[in-house]
Amino acid sequence: MLKLRAQKDRAAIGFESQAAKQADQTSKQELQEARTRLANAKAAHLELDTDIKGTIEARLPGHTPIAFDEIKGVLKIAMEEVFAGREIKRKAA
């Protein structure tokens, strides 16, 4: 009787241990995926920033160049509005 109880206890402990290992592995995998998404987002942002800085040259009357850093905020807001409009259209469809 005691052997049977001990065997059941060991099986329960083994199951709990296996479940804990699986949960740990799942959380590690999710963390790795999140890190990958973050790295991709940072790279895309840097690439876009570099492309914009390399191609934009806004001029005012009198041919006065504007530094990109001065209009970056305006461009960012404009892009967010465009993408938000697309998202609304996509949800409506």
Closest-CA residue to 70 (of 81, 87, 56, 84): 56
Residue 57 has a pLDDT of 64
pLDDT in tens, 10-42: 777 776 778 788 888 999 999 999 999 999 999
∠ Cα 17 21 26 (to 5°): 150
Same domain flag for 35 and 62: no
Name the domain count of the chain.
2
| pLDDT tens-place string over residues 41-50 | 999 898 888 8
- Taking only the tens place, the pLDDT of each residue in 63-78 is 667 778 888 888 889 8
51 with 63, same domain: the answer is no
Q: Which domain holds residue 43?
A: 1-55
Crossing angle between the packed helical segments 68-92 and 2-55, to the nearest 10 degrees: 120
Whether the model pTM is above 0.75: no
Q: In Å, how far are 33, 35, 39, 62 from 46, measured between CA atoms?
A: 20, 16, 10, 31
